[in-house]
Structure 1
Amino acid sequence: MEAGTDVDVCTKWSETLRVYHNTSCELENELQAKHDLGLSEFEVLLILGRACGEQAGYKARMKDIEAEMYLSQSALSRTVTRLEKAGLVTRAACDFDRRANFLMLTPSGLERFEAAKPTHRAVLVKHLTDPAASARAETCA
């Protein structure tokens, strides 16, 4: 398979950036307006939801969450602090390793996550299944 020309590659990169920008802006706006969640906060709940599922009391290691996130360690810590203040997650220290921290989804965190999932999915479907739609979508200011 032959590599594309510089113009083709640059055009593809620009399109990728437009799709990312339009999608992330709409996700941020919709999640905030409908569920009082920022995109990063939803992403933490998503990771916890996958890790914890319906298992009450299951804890996910912060290091594992950090590995899946696009945030720096300090930005993730601030995001988790906001979620904790909202009562959506709880932090716990590891009993056998004081350096490790765990996060647990609270019942209200699971409820908010479940309520926000359809909004998240609808925006992703809108932007990622019809490339023409994402080109027409308005960008956020």
Structure 2
Amino acid sequence: MEAESEVDVCAKWSETLRVYHNTSCELENELQSRHELGLSEFEVLLILGRTCGDQAEGKAKMKDIEAEMYLSQSALSRTVTRLEKAGLVTRAACDFDRRANFLMLTPSGRERFEAAKPTHRAVLVKHLTDTGASERAASCS
């Protein structure tokens, strides 16, 4: 019985990896081709959009963003640099803690993020919901 459950756990893990790989690859491709955003760039904009809301002056600490991301500190910094060069975010030093940096969405960043959200959601629905699974199965028959 124990060996059988070990096989089940291993099969579930393999399925999880397959779903993650297929979903992340499609997200990367769709976001890049339609919105000129990588998946990591979109995720930073998503966190900023959620953290800052609709506030024009809304900002988030880089450390808080790092805590929500799957990237190392250096990879996140490179991602933010790309977003900054594209004019989608701005960085600001913290007035009371010189070690802290803030990130803010620019109007262009908010616009690009809002335009990319439906693409992001459609790919997630396709790969992660029962409806998406049914549609994939129907298209294979």
Distance 2:5 2:92 in 1: 52
The match for 1:100 is 100
Structure number with greater CO (CA < 8 Å, separation at least 6) is 1
Matching of residues 1-141 of structure 1 within 5 Å: 5-130=5-130, 131=133, 133=136
SS at match of 2:117: helix
Distance in 1 of aligned mates of 2:24 and 2:112: 19
RMSD of Structure 2 on Structure 1 (CA): 2.0
1:61-120 CA distance string (max 9 Å, x none): 000000000000000000000000000000000001100000000000000000000000
The alpha carbon displacement at 1:58 in A equals 1.1
**In 2: Cα distance, 1:76 partner to 1:28 partner:** 16
Counterpart of 1:99 in 2: which secondary structure? coil
For 2:109 and 2:10, the matched residues in 1 are separated by 41
TM-score (norm 1): 0.91
TM-score, length of structure 2 as denominator length: 0.91
SS of the aligned residue for 1:5 comes to helix
The whole-number CA distance in structure 2 between the counterparts of 1:74 and 1:26 is 25
Write the distance in 2 (CA, Å) between the matches of 1:59 and 1:30.
27
Counterpart Cα distance in 1 of 2:97 and 2:62: 13
Which runs of 5 or more residues in structure 2 are unaligned? none
Alignment partners' CA distance in 2, 1:84 and 1:127: 31
1:59 is displaced (CA, Å) by 1.0
Structure 1: gaps of 5 or more residues: none
- Determine which structure has the larger helix proportion and give its number: 2
* Count of residues in correspondence between the two structures: 135
